[in-house]
Amino acid sequence: MEKFRVCRLDVWGNAVDGYTVNDMCEIGNIELSEEAEKPEILQALFKQSLIINPESVDLEMVEIIDAYPDYYLDYEGKPYFLISIEERK
């Protein structure tokens, strides 16, 4: 398991022209296995009260961009979270 810090992204822009990160705020930590996929990542965020119930989220609208050691979570095409590795266990 690896520990990740979670940052909420404040972005400017749109899907056509692209997005620019305006600000970033660390909001918590989660633990993930190296093989974690979308449902496990959403469940980890939910367990730490960082998102609403993942069962109510349309998984088709969520994209996890793997830029290891970081992950970006986009919702409806808009960058929403940066999930960045904090430490290796």
Read off the pLDDT of residues 1-30 as tens digits, 9 standing for 90 and up. Answer: 888 899 989 999 988 898 888 999 999 999
8 Å CB contact between 84 and 2? no
Read off the pLDDT of residues 63-81 as tens digits, 9 standing for 90 and up. Answer: 888 777 788 888 887 888 8
Task: Give residue 6's domain range.
Answer: 2-88
Q: How many domains does the chain have?
A: 1
CA distance 29 to 56: 22
Give the pair of three-digit tokens for residue 31.
């633990």
Res 56 pLDDT > 80: no
φ/ψ (deg, to 5) at 43: -65, -40
CA distance 13 to 3: 30
User: Would strands 62-67 and 78-88 be described as parallel, antiparallel, or unpaired?
Assistant: unpaired
Three-state secondary structure call for residue 53? coil
pTM score:
0.77
